Amino acid sequence: MKKWVFAIVIVSVFTACKKKVEKIKPIQQDITESVYASGTIKAENQYQVYAAVNGIINQIMVTEGSLVQLNTPLLSVQNEASKLNSENAKLAAGFNDFSANQSKLNDLKNTIDLTKAKFLTDSSLYVRQQNLWKQQVGSQNDLDQRELAFQNSKTTYLSALIKYQDLKRQLQFTSQQAQKNLSIAQKQLNDFVVKSEIEGKVYSILKEKGEMVNNQTPIAIIGSANDFKLELQIDEYDIVKVQLGQLVLISLDSYKGQVYEATVSKINPIMNERTKTFLVEAKFTKKPQTLYPNLTAEANIVIQTKKNVITLPRNVVSDDGFVTNAKGDKIAVKIGLKDYKMVEILSGVSVADELIVPAK
């Protein structure tokens, strides 16, 4: 009885093994080699908005979804110290304005006119005294006194000219410096109004009125309203195959079962050391009607396509390039292109050969 049971088990096992043997023949079809990549949708010119100064948000002038132009005010930041500095600089600029201090120059110019008149008078008297002395009229003391008066008035006149030029230069410098300080203060005050750097759409506002902001924390996200791009992460092993202008086939979770087209527009030439990937950008040539930033995408970058070639499923070919025929013999094959399911067979078997599919 036990022998019969044993024999039945052997027959059952043999029959089960026999049923598991699956055979296949190579087929001729087109094959496309592609590089897989995952990525996200981004708006063109998308950027994070930062405040140039520290302070508290006192007004938000846009809402999420708002369309903005270049230099459209987005929000304002309150800082009383900067406001007071601007007012102080304005007062200083008015006080030191060159035209406002013209009276000082006019006063000194009057002094110059008086010293010049005295200088001319003393010069004339000195020349007259010299002529008298030549005629032996007058004394040496009279001549010396006239010469001394002439020299003093000359020195006073020249000194007044120098003082005038020094005062004029000082007033001009002070006026220009005060105007520069005013411009700086007003520029700093303008920094408290954050403006859009592009024409586009406000996609997100990350802060609320009354919150503290600084130049290291983003406060909003802005990008193009209609133009979008793909940011793809490419493995370092595949990056050498990717070139500008290659076709990219896109599938989106938001549009199940549909495929969209793009082309490679930019390859960032440095690898992310943490993820071991390269950032590649692609622009849509055929896109959905509605897109949003940060939608997830899966992409296949088409490297090359061959028409009407012999192919086999990838699982039929071993890693070392062998297949097994129906008799159980191993045959070496030469492999060409690969996609995610099929592999091109360049030589070794034909469409007439029957091959065994390895058991899973």
Helix (H) / strand (E) element for 233: namely strand 228-235
> What's the pLDDT score for residue 215?
86
Q: Quick one: three-class SS letters along 247-294?
A: EEEEEECCEEEEEEEEEEEEECCCCECCCCEEEEEEEEEECCCCCCCC
Share of the chain above pLDDT 90, in %: 43
Judged by DSSP in three states, 214 sits in coil
- Beta bridge partners of residue 296, listed in sequence order: 40
334 with 346: CB under 8 angstroms? Answer: yes
What letters, b where the CB count within 10 A reaches 16 and e where it falls short, cover 168-179? beebeebbeebb
Burial of 103 (0-12, 13-18, 19+ CB in 10 A): exposed
Judged by DSSP in three states, 309 sits in strand
16 alpha-carbon distance from chain centroid: 64
> What's the pLDDT score for residue 2?
42
Residue 86, phi-psi category: left (phi > 0), alpha (psi -120 to 50), beta (remainder): alpha
- Per-residue pLDDT tens over the stretch 71-103: 999 998 876 666 666 677 777 777 878 777 888
Is the pTM value of this prediction over 0.85?
no
Judged by DSSP in three states, 321 sits in coil
For the chain (360 residues), the mean pLDDT of every run of 10, in chain order, is 42 49 89 90 95 87 95 84 68 78 85 89 86 82 85 90 89 85 70 89 94 91 95 94 94 91 95 95 92 94 91 89 89 86 90 87
Written as one string, the DSSP assignment of 19-82 is HH-EEE--EEEEEEEEEEEEEEEEETT-EEE--SS-EEEEEE---TT-EE-TT-EEEEEE-HHH
- Per-residue pLDDT tens over the stretch 140-190: 888 888 889 889 988 998 998 998 899 888 888 888 888 888 777 766 666
Taking the C-alpha atoms of residue 35 and residue 125, their distance in angstroms, rounded to an integer, is 105
- The encoded tokens of residue 309 equal 């070639």
Judged by DSSP in three states, 347 sits in strand
Tell me the CA distances in angstroms from 128 to 122, 141, 151, 196, one per residue in order: 10, 14, 15, 80
Taking the C-alpha atoms of residue 222 and residue 46, their distance in angstroms, rounded to an integer, is 6
Taking the C-alpha atoms of residue 339 and residue 224, their distance in angstroms, rounded to an integer, is 35
Tell me the CA distances in angstroms from 131 to 119, 128, 135, 151, 291, one per residue in order: 18, 5, 7, 18, 104
- Per-residue pLDDT tens over the stretch 116-133: 888 899 888 888 888 887
Which one-letter DSSP state was computed for residue 359? Answer: P
> What's the pLDDT score for residue 246?
95
